[in-house]
Amino acid sequence: MVNTKTKNKPIAINVAIYARVSTEEQAEQGYSIPAQIELLRALCKSEQKVVFKEYIDAGISGKSIDKRPAIQELLRDVEQGLIHEVVVWRMDRISRKMSDLLSILDKLDHHNVKFLSYSEKQYDTKTASGKLNLQMFGAIAEFQRNSIVENVKMGMKQRARDGKWNGGNVLGYDVVEVPSGKGTDSVLMINPLEAELVRKIFRMYAAGQGLRSIANQLNKEGYKTKPGNAFSTVAVKTILNNPVYIGKIRYNVRENWNEKRRKGINPDPIIADGEHEPIIDLDMWEAVQKLYGKKSKTSPRVYEGTYLLTGLMRCPQCGGTLGAHRVKDTLKDGTVVVRRYYVCNKFKNNGSRACSSNSVRADFVESYVLERIAEVVQHPKVLDDIVNKINKDRVKSVTPLQKEIAFLEKELKTLDAQKQKYFRLYESDTIDNDFLLERLNELKGKYDTLTQRKREAERQLESNSSNPISIKEVRAVMTKFHNLLESSPHNTQKTLLQTVIKQVHIKKAGKEIEGIELEFDEGIKKYFLTLAPSTNKVEGAFAFPKQKPPYRYTLVI
C-alpha cells in the first residue's frame, strides 16, 4: 500500500539567494545588501521554498565575476547539485557584463537550476522568448554600466585637465582632503622629508648614477618608497619620469588596465598644469629627461665593468651597435688576464651568419677618445680649424636646401591640384567611388613623404641659417667638459661621454677610428652642462656665462 502522505509531499526546493552591491551604489536607495536579502527571504517564504544559503558580494563591482568570491562559491555549489534555484533582487546583480551573464545562465541551465529575478519575474529562462527578453535586458544593463563608467572617466579626465589630482599616493606629497563646494576635494601637499628624498634621487641621476645604483644606495641608507617598500629600479624610474614633480598633472597614461594591462598604453595622455606646488625645478627636470632619453637609446648591457663607450659605436659592416665583451686567458703561470673588447652585438647574439665580430680593443678606443678630447682642448688651433670648417659647410649647404624646399613646395601644390581634379571627376560621375579612394590613398602616400622631407629640410635650413658657431663658446664648453671628465668618478665619466658623444666612427678594418662625433644643442648646454654633477674637484662644473647658443651643431674631432 502506497503511503499517500509521502507520495503527495512536495519535494523541498533549495534556493540560493545572491546579493551584491558595488561601492558606488552603497548610498543609492534600494541597493543595500540588507534590503535585497529581506525581499528575497520574503519571496522564498511566500512560495514555501527553502533558503539553502545566502551568497553575498559586498562592495564589489559587477564588471567581472573573476574577483567575486561569493558568485564563485555559488557556481561550485551548483555544479555539486546542492541548489535547485537561484534568486536575485535584480538581474544586473549577477553581472553587468553580457558575456558573463549569459555564461552563468548557461551553466545554471546545464545543471537544471532555475533562475529567478525578483524585479523581472516575467523572464522565464526556460522559454525562447524568455531567454530573448533576458538577453535584451542584460544588454541594457551592460550598456548602463558602460555609460556610467564612461561618464566617470570623462569627469576624471576633466579634473585632470583642470589641474586637479585624481587620487593615489605619490612620494613627495601627501593627499589631503580640503573643503570644496558642497563636499571635499583631494589635493597634493608637499611632504618636506619625502620631497628632499625626491630631490636627492634627481641629483643622483644627473650626477651619472644609474637606476640600479640609485636603488641600491637608497636601500642601504634605509629609505623606503611611499608604500613602505624597498626601492627598485622601476620605482626609481617611475619617480624620474613623473611630471607631477614639476607641478604637472599626468592622467590616462594607460587605458583599460584590467583587460589590456601594459599593452593599453595611451600615446597621448593628458598633461596639464596642476594646482600643486612643484618639487623639482624645470632645469633639473629637463636635464634628467634628456639624459634618460640618451641612455634609453643605447643597447641593454649584461656587463658594464669599465666600458665607457657602450652603445656609442656602430659596426662598420652591419650598422648595429658594438657591445661589451670580455675574453679571459690563463697564462702558463696560472695568471688570469682579462682583455676587454667592443664587438658587434649581432655577431655576439646570432653568430657569424649575422655579421662578423668587427672587434675593437676597449683600451685602445677609450684611450683614443680621452686623448683626442684632451688634444683639441690643449691645442686651440685644432679646435678653431674644426669650428671654422663647420661654419663654412653650414653656409655652403644653405642654397641647396633652399632650392630643395622650393621644389618640394611645388610638388605638394601639384598633388593638391591632382586631388581636386579627381574630386571634380567624381562629382561629374566620370569615376566611381572605389577608383577615387584608390587614387586619393596613392596621393596621400606621396604627400606625406614629401611633407616629411620638407620638414627635415626646413629644420636643417633653420640650423644652418643661424648665427655662426662661436669658437670662444665651443672652446669654453670643451675645456670645462675635459676638466670635469678628468676629475669625475667612472659612472660620471660614462654619463658625460654618453651625453655629449653622438657616435665614435670606426673604420671597416676595425683597427682605426675615423672620428668622434660630438653633438651640442641648447638642451645640453642649458640643462645639463650647467648643473655640475657630483664632484668636489671642479668647482661650478660647466657654469660658464650664459650666451645664446646655436640651434644645434656637431663637431667631428
Q: What is the DSSP letter of 356?
A: -
Task: Using alpha carbons only, give the angle 124, 125, 131 rounded to the nearest 5 degrees.
Answer: 105
**Contact in structure between 91 and 108 (CB atoms under 8 Å):** no
Measure the N-to-C terminal CA separation of the chain; round to a whole number of Å.
114
Provide CB contacts within 8 A for 133, sequence distance 6+: 122, 123
CA distance 141 to 20: 15
**Contact in structure between 75 and 53 (CB atoms under 8 Å):** no
CA distance 119 to 304: 68
C-alpha pair distances (Å), 236 with each of 262, 284, 432: 18, 16, 58
Among positive and negative, which fits the CA dihedral 266, 451, 524, 512? positive
Active site residue 534: no
C-alpha pair distances (Å), 8 with each of 58, 109, 176, 267, 292: 41, 27, 68, 70, 82
What does the block give as the cell for 353? 651568419
What ranges make up the beta strands (E) of 288-430? Answer: 322-330, 336-344, 360-361
Among positive and negative, which fits the CA dihedral 55, 60, 61, 64? negative
Task: Using alpha carbons only, give the angle 41, 46, 52 rounded to the nearest 5 degrees.
Answer: 45
**Contact in structure between 160 and 153 (CB atoms under 8 Å):** no
Kindly name the residue from 22, 61, 359, 488 that is annotated as catalytic.
22
Based on DSSP, count helices (H) and strands (E) in the chain, helices before strands. Answer: 17, 14
174 forms beta bridges with: 189
Provide CB contacts within 8 A for 47, sequence distance 6+: none
Amino acid residing at 145: R
CA distance 260 to 4: 62
User: Which residues are marked as active site?
Assistant: 22
